[in-house]
A and B are shown apart, each in its own frame.
Chain A
Amino acid sequence: MVQEGQDWIYSETVKDHFLNPRNFLMGDEANFEYDAMGLVGNPICGDQMKVYIKVRDGKIVDVKWKTYGCASAIASTSALSEIAKGKTLDEALEIKAEDIDDYLGKLPKHKFHCSVLGHDALKDAIEKYREKDGEK
């Protein structure tokens, strides 16, 4: 058969983040010292994401993530981890699905709505961090 190389519905940037995901937490989550973890989605619906943040002086100094999901779910969480790193908590709360979409050079429309959820997991992590911080 003819060798065609790859031709996907995804942009080269999405493909790169899918095939070479950044900042993911490999294996057991005990391997990473984090201050809070946020969760979004459900495997029954096909996508679930966890975002782990390490916070110093109100800034996200490190982000790791885990994802069960399709290529755009993996790529978008990977992209989010790069966007969020170094941001203050207030800045990070402003990250929208559209920002991830722009960063990746646009996902196919039918993928955008179902798989770009990482920012909600990040929001969840920040809220949990602030609750915990408030208790101190």
Chain B
Amino acid sequence: MIYLDYAATAPVLPEVARAMNEAYGRYFANASALHTPGHLAMNEIERTRGLLAELINCEPEEIIFTSGASESNNAVMHTFEGCEIETSPYEHHSIIEVAEIYRGNKRPKLYSYMLANNELGEILELPCVGEDEYLHSDLTQVLGKMPIDVKALGLDYATLSAHKIGGPVGVGVLYVRKGVPFRPLIVGGNQEKRRRGGTYNTAGIIGFGAALKYMKDKKTWEIYDTYVRNLRDVLARRILAEIPGSSLNTDIVLGKSLPNILNVSFRAAEGESIQLYLDAEGIIVSTGSACASGDAKPSHVLMAKTGDAEVAHSSIRFSFGIDNTIEDVERVMEVLPGIVKRLQEISTIS
């Protein structure tokens, strides 16, 4: 199998699986408890918190562990209930749909702009916020792919997730800058300094810590910037040169997108069909076509970017990890031109 859907989720790293397996045996106790096993579990949680704080340049107490990026996003929006909320058109559904629920006309105002988009990989310019305004950024796709400095980015809130870097699903983070408003989404416990109730997911947080350690030791952002960028760019150039009717939805100019995501449309060939023909060849990708999700509409991100529903329905996202090789790209290019040609030949669109 050639896995090119890292932006959806990354396979759990062996280091993470080992750390979590050990954690289930050694750190099973409730981390809020004052007894020895509880305290040992809490030490491990704090170790992950400290490592993350170092990696994104914040204070450990500015980090709140959550159940994932969607919860982190929900918690920020919930804090600004009744306030003005401005979001970019590229945001994840866990921003856009939640903003619809909480948006009002009171001050302060919240801006929520992701630093890099998940479907296109494109890097957005963050807005400059003024008096009585706050800035949140969903950094889910950025972690491990680029260095992150929440202070330099001027962020008041930031969302992160463990499973995009080879950690477990079910562990997320909300960075909340010291002194900014925060209203807990899950109440009913003293955990996380009363900012997020619920028994600690000790094994999950330990697994996240192992993934962060791997990221730090390998300096994965450097590998993405060079090795992975080259794989992505070779695929982009070969698709454009070898497949008639192809067009890039991702801007691959340096600095315009994450180095590991490539979104492409193929004229007259529908995305889900391409995805499944590739799957039949053991190549795993995703699509912005509505059909794949069972939704009635194609991806709002592709619509915002291209303004063309047919282009959105005909899109495929390739997303790389550091384990991919140039042979993977070559294998894709052995089968993809034939798949697209076949679908174009049976298509109603000429």
Q: Which residue of A lies closest to B295 (CB)?
A: A110
Q: Which residues of A contact B1 (CB under 8 A)?
A: 1-4
Q: Which residue of A lies closest to B276 (CB)?
A: A71
Whether B348 pairs with A68 at a CB distance below 8 angstroms is yes
Q: Which residue of A lies closest to B346 (CB)?
A: A24
Q: Which of A1, A4, A6, A26 contacts B345 (CB 8 A)?
A: A26
Q: Which residue of B lies closest to A21 (CB)?
A: B346
Whether A25 pairs with B298 at a CB distance below 8 angstroms is no
The number of chain A residues with a CB under 8 A from chain B is: 37
Whether A48 pairs with B349 at a CB distance below 8 angstroms is yes
Whether B294 pairs with A111 at a CB distance below 8 angstroms is yes
Measured CA separation A66–B332 after assembly (Å): 26
Q: Which residues of A contact B313 (CB under 8 A)?
A: 43-44, 46
- Find residues 70-128 in chain A having any chain B CB closer than 8 Å to their own CB: 70-74, 108, 110-111, 114-115
Measured CA separation A58–B304 after assembly (Å): 49
- B71 within 8 Å of A by Cβ? no
The number of chain B residues with a CB under 8 A from chain A is: 30
Whether B270 pairs with A26 at a CB distance below 8 angstroms is no
- Find residues 322-350 in chain B having any chain A CB closer than 8 Å to their own CB: 345-350
- Find residues 246-283 in chain B having any chain A CB closer than 8 Å to their own CB: 268-273, 276-277, 279-280, 282
Q: Which residue of B lies closest to A4 (CB)?
A: B1
- A27 within 8 Å of B by Cβ? yes
B 288-304 binary contact with A (CB < 8 Å = 1; else 0): 01111010101000000
Beyond A2-B1, A70-B291, A110-B294, whether A43 also contacts B272 by CB under 8 A is no
Whether A70 pairs with B346 at a CB distance below 8 angstroms is no
By secondary structure, the A interface counts as: mixed
- B309 within 8 Å of A by Cβ? yes
- B11 within 8 Å of A by Cβ? yes
Whether B280 pairs with A6 at a CB distance below 8 angstroms is yes
Whether B291 pairs with A68 at a CB distance below 8 angstroms is no
Q: Which residue of B lies closest to A40 (CB)?
A: B348
Q: Which residues of B contact A66 (CB under 8 A)?
A: 346-348
Whether A49 pairs with B270 at a CB distance below 8 angstroms is no
Most B CB atoms within 10 A — which of A18, A39, A67, A70? A70
Whether B348 pairs with A67 at a CB distance below 8 angstroms is yes
Whether A43 pairs with B349 at a CB distance below 8 angstroms is yes
- B310 within 8 Å of A by Cβ? yes
- 26 example contacts (A-B, Cβ-Cβ < 8 A) are as follows A1-B3, A1-B11, A2-B1, A4-B1, A6-B279, A6-B280, A18-B273, A18-B276, A19-B280, A24-B346, A25-B346, A26-B345, A28-B350, A39-B348, A43-B313, A44-B310, A46-B289, A46-B309, A46-B313, A50-B348, A69-B270, A70-B272, A70-B292, A73-B270, A108-B294, A114-B296
Q: Which 9 A-B pairs have the closest CB atoms?
A: A70-B291, A70-B272, A110-B294, A44-B309, A48-B348, A68-B347, A43-B310, A24-B346, A46-B313
